[in-house]
A and B are shown apart, each in its own frame.
Chain A
Amino acid sequence: EVQLIQSGAEVKKPGESLKISCKASGYSFTTYWIGWVRQMPGKGLEWMGIIYPGDSDTRYSPSFLGQVTISADKSVSTIYLQWSSLKASDTAMYYCARHGVHTANSWFDPWGQGTRVIVTS
């Protein structure tokens, strides 16, 4: 069974750094694109970016380029989403999701359970 297990909820202060994770299992980690989706409180889904763990090729939405960093560690089948300096507006639920087939032009399936990030002073 393909599973994506995300790290737990975080409460941080503005200006702090943060790295959340998504551990994959049940498939060949290096051969599927996998990415991150943001959902701000009460709002819709926003595509942030994707990574191909095989060679770490990464694509970002222009809205998130320079704001976050997506990375992967093949040795532990895990991808990460990282902020160097959090803002209150980063408060959201973050989902990881794998692409359905072996190409970047593909739907998301399955999804992780979500990681809630709260940034408050």
Chain B
Amino acid sequence: EVVLTQSPGTLSLSPGERATLSCRASQSVSLSFLAWYQQRPDQPPRLLIFGASSRAPGIPDRFSGSGSGTDFTLTISRLEAEDFGVYYCQQYLHSPFSFGQGTKLEIK
């Protein structure tokens, strides 16, 4: 099973700042079969990024994904109040299609 390790566990930032979230895989996720999701409190997760770097429809361009192999990054260029929540990465190359443990992005 592919283990995804996200860092940091918690990120405290202010609106307008840049957020950088990391996701490291225990083995290569080739073909960039990696997605990022946002989960706000008491809501289901929402797809942000698929294919490591493609934004889902309706997702603002301040969200961007990058990386390949075992190291992936989600960047939010200028944080807005609505961006705070928990972010998860998921690989969908090797079944079971595991999730990372999440990074909580909180208001400083």
Contact = CB atoms under 8 A, between A and B. Distances in A.
Given A44-B100, A44-B101, A47-B98, A107 B45 contact: no
A111 B100 contact: no
Interface string A34-49: 0001000000111101
B45 A95 contact: yes
B96 A47 contact: yes
A105 B98 CA distance: 12
Q: Is the interface of B mostly helix, strand, loop or mixed?
A: loop
Interface residues of B, number: 24
A46 B99 contact: yes
B92 A105 contact: yes
Contact of A114 (B44, B97, B98, B102): B44
A107 B31 CA distance: 13
Contacts of B37: 45, 108
A61 B96 contact: yes
Interface string A20-60: 00000000000000000100000011110110000000011
A113 B44 contact: yes
Given A44-B88, A45-B88, A95-B45, A107 B35 contact: yes
Contact of A62 (B1, B47, B101): B1
B93 A105 contact: yes
Interface of A: 37, 44-47, 49-50, 59-63, 95, 97, 100, 104-114
Interface of B: 1, 33, 35, 37, 39, 44-47, 50, 56, 86, 88, 90, 92-93, 95-102
